[in-house]
């Protein structure tokens, strides 16, 4: 994708995926994007677990919760629409200084690196942390923060002008419509 703004407009959250594996080279690039992300004082406190075998991915599905604004029959992927890859973002708590900004930058880089290859993603924090930690065998000082689901999207997602509600919805074709506030509502002033 050549145009950066078009890339950013389409790098949305995706929740229904083709049952086609993500190439290992792309998985590597997603991790590389996280590895080199900016972070406070260059402390690099985040660690990553890749869940990609069909068995492990299947065990993850019931441990993540989809699309809180939609009824499950609309928002939760069907059995033939599930993500094919999860990456768990963890924090090494023995190191000082990890913060939400560091994690946000890593998540932004990971999801952008994936989208550059047409791989869609969903950042997920409505997750069963104890069960996922057990599934990936997480031990102190590592603590699970967030999971990102990945796959080749089966739907589109577009930004729509926000009227009075932030809630995303599906159009008649099952594509996501994501309301964003207008520029005049977010720009406080220009000095
Ligand atoms: C920190 C964070 C946590 C999120 N957790 C979930 C989640 O648990 N389940 C889900 O379906 N979507 C989750 N999302 C996706 C948001 O619902 C989505 O980003 C939002 O509706 C805006 O859509 P957009 O990403 O296409 O702009 C999360 C996103 C972020 C940034």
CA angle 27, 40, 96 (to 5 degrees): 95
- Is the distance from the beta carbon of residue 14 to the nearest atom of ligand 1 less than 6 Å? no
Note the pLDDT of residue 2: 62
**Would the CB of 166 count as within 6 Å of ligand 1?**
no
Ordered by start, the domain boundaries in the chain are 4-154
Structure tokens that stand for 147 in this block = 């999971």
Domain 4-154 has CATH 3.40.50.620: no
Q: What pLDDT score was predicted for residue 23?
A: 97
What pLDDT was estimated at residue 135? 98
Predicted TM-score (pTM) above 0.85: yes
Q: What local confidence, expressed as pLDDT, does residue 98 receive?
A: 84
CA of 12 to the centre of ligand 1 (A): 9
The residues of the chain scoring below 50 in pLDDT are none
The pLDDT tens digits for 60-81 are: 999 999 999 999 999 999 999 9
57 within 8 A of 77, measured Cβ to Cβ: no
Tokens of 118: 């047409």
pLDDT in the model for residue 10: 97
Output the pLDDT for position 35. 98
Mutate to test the pocket of ligand 1, among 111, 124, 175 (most ligand atoms within 8 A of CB): 124
């Amino acid at each position: 994708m050549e145009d950066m703004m078009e890339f950013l407009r389409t790098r949305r959250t995706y929740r229904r995926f083709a049952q086609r594996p993500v190439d290992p080279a792309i998985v590597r690039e997603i991790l590389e994007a996280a590895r080199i992300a900016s972070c406070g004082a260059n402390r690099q406190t985040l660690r990553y677990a890749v869940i990609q075998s069909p068995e492990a991915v299947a065990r993850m599905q019931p441990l993540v919760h989809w699309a809180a604004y939609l009824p499950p029959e609309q928002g939760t992927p069907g059995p033939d629409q599930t993500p094919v890859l999860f990456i768990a973002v963890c924090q090494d708590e023995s190191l000082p200084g990890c913060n939400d900004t560091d994690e946000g930058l890593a998540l932004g880089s990971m999801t952008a690196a994936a989208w550059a290859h047409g791989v869609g993603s969903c950042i997920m924090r409505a997750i069963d942390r104890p069960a996922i930690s057990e599934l990936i065998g997480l031990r102190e000082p590592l603590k699970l923060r967030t999971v990102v689901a990945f796959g080749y999207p089966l739907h589109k997602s577009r930004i729509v002008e926000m009227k009075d509600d932030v809630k995303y919805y599906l159009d008649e074709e099952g594509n996501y419509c994501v309301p964003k506030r207008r520029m005049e509502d977010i720009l406080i002033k220009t000095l």
